[in-house]
Amino acid sequence: MSEQRHERHEEGGPAGRRVVVVGAGMAGVQTAVALREQGFDGTVTLIGAELHQPYDRPPLSKAVLLGKAEHSAFDVDFEGLGIELVLGREVLGLRPADHELDTETGPVPYDVLVLATGAEPIRLPGTEGVPGVHLLRTLDDAERLRPVLARQHDVVVVGAGWIGAEFATAAREAGCAVTVVEAADRPLAGALPAEVAAPMTAWYADHGVDLRTHARVARVEAGAVVLDDGSRLPAEAVVVGIGARPATAWLAGSGVALGAHREIVADACLRTSAADVYAVGDCASFPSGRYGERLLVHHWDNALQGPRTVAANILAAATGELPAVYDPVPYFWSEQFGRFVQYVGHHADADSTLWRGDPSGPAWTVCWLREGRLIALLAVGRPRDLAQGRRLIEAGRRMDAEALADPARPLKDATATP
Ligand SMILES: Cc1cc2nc3c(=O)[nH]c(=O)nc-3n(C[C@H](O)[C@H](O)[C@H](O)COP(=O)(O)OP(=O)(O)OC[C@H]3O[C@@H](n4cnc5c(N)ncnc54)[C@H](O)[C@@H]3O)c2cc1C
């Protein structure tokens, strides 16, 4: 921390307030950086449980896993920005009435607190501590999995979600024999309707991955996964990718309101039920005015955009200005089986779908429409559709269904004439 910066922090008043951010992942780091970018002049302390320099997670199932990148540390000059980084310290509790956190090494006071503790992977029951069973959430997890790929082991992946598909892709690229076990009837069953997931099923076989749907793991034994139909799958390593849940157990008894998925229930301005406490990223849900429902988003872009609103609202609260509302069009991407898959917006079961292009081909898009307006879009190898669709969704434009269905026509030219 520079001398000059340090002196300015000692000045007191609203600008001299102390903001403490819990969780040094994407959302926590971006909150600390956004506070400085937006001119916050008080103390910023960022506390993270992991010992590593804060890092980005998407490369963990891609370049880092394959050894194409050593790490994915954020390129942020914490010292230069006057951000006090406290690593390797787990926060154990929160006492909002005292404006204090409890940590392994004692209490930490705050004026304003930001909860950004992210999510943790769901474990397969009965496999905790079983050798050869892996999760993929942290840099340590990725480092443990690298030798598995390097030795070209037989691998069983449990769960055909985003992480399962990306790990299977990397493992095939490394030369492993890969079986993916999925309890549902298709990949991505929790995220996409059957008609959209159907063409994705073929991607597994095309890449030499044995996808077993309607399959449940009965137990994991040394060197094998046993399914509930009795079949034994050879497995020198098992990778569990069955979802993640908000890392909020430490908030028990704090009085901070949690939702059905144990997520922190934030309001439209990302404030929690406790005074001076905000929440952002994978750990929190917020009400979406745009989609008319509460959203719990476990994707990178939300951990980038949300922090800007939190930082703005911390500054607004200090000066008595009105807080900003967080109402994004969610976005995420996935790289799997040689394809770049992007999704923008948010759809419900009742929304109608419309296809652009042949789903058995390398590039296609599916659009979701509500009352004639584009509200979500999944683009496979069509990044231009994604970019144009995002703007149309943000603007709430009505679409011409016939023009929209023609993949040769730019999406931006498929709006309905008013
Ligand atoms: C392998 C992988 C690949 C991904 N790929 C993509 C992708 O391709 N596209 C995409 O859109 N999204 C992707 N994601 C999702 C994206 O990375 C997350 O949405 C994003 O990391 C969320 O950021 P966050 O800061 O909210 O949470 P996290 O990244 O989980 O960070 C939270 C941090 O808080 C710390 N913490 C938790 N509890 C405490 C405590 N009590 N005290 C102190 N510290 C604590 C944790 O150790 C962690 O470091 C991927 C995720 C993973 C795991």
What is the largest distance, in Å, between two alpha-carbon atoms of the chain? 69
In order of 4, 123, 146, 240, the CA distances from 143 in angstroms are: 39, 19, 5, 16
For 158, other C-beta atoms within 10 Å of its C-beta total: 25
- Residue 301's alpha-carbon distances to 30, 99, 147, 185, in angstroms, are 11, 30, 30, 29
Please report, in tens digits, the pLDDT of each residue of the chain (418 residues total): 333 333 334 444 454 599 999 999 999 999 999 999 999 999 999 999 999 999 999 999 999 999 999 889 999 999 999 999 999 999 999 999 999 999 989 999 999 999 999 999 999 998 988 889 999 999 999 999 999 999 998 999 999 999 999 999 999 999 999 999 999 999 999 899 999 999 999 999 999 999 999 999 999 998 999 999 999 999 999 999 999 999 999 999 999 999 999 999 999 999 999 999 999 999 999 999 999 999 999 999 999 999 999 999 999 999 999 999 999 999 999 999 999 999 999 999 999 999 999 999 999 999 999 999 999 999 999 999 999 999 999 999 999 999 999 999 999 999 998 7
Q: Are strands 112-115 and 18-22 parallel, antiparallel or unpaired?
A: parallel
Residue that the structure tokens 């991607």 belong to:
203
115 lines ligand 1 (CB under 6 A): no
For ligand 1, whether the C-beta of 163 sits within 6 Å is yes
Residue 358 CB-density burial (10 A; 0-12 exposed, 13-18 middle, 19+ buried) = exposed
Closest ligand 1 atom to the C-alpha of 138? 53
Kindly give the number of the ligand 1 atom that is closest to the alpha carbon of 333: 9
Amino acid at 392: L
Please tell me the distance from the alpha carbon of residue 182 to that of residue 217, in angstroms, as a whole number: 9
CA distance 273 to 5: 33
Can you tell me whether residue 141 is helix, strand or coil?
A: helix
Residues 6+ apart with CB under 8 A from 87: 24, 48, 50, 51, 52, 53, 54
Helix (H) or strand (E) holding 375: strand 373-380
- What's 288's DSSP letter? E
Centre of ligand 1 from the C-alpha of residue 138, in Å: 8
Q: How far is the CA of 118 from the centre of ligand 1 (A)?
A: 5
Length of the chain: 418
Give yes or no for residue 134 CB within 6 A of ligand 1: no
54 close to ligand 1 (CB < 6 Angstrom): no
Q: What is the whole-number distance in angstroms between the Cα of residue 335 and the centre of ligand 1? A: 17
- Nearest CA to 28 out of 252, 310, 256, 373 is that of 310
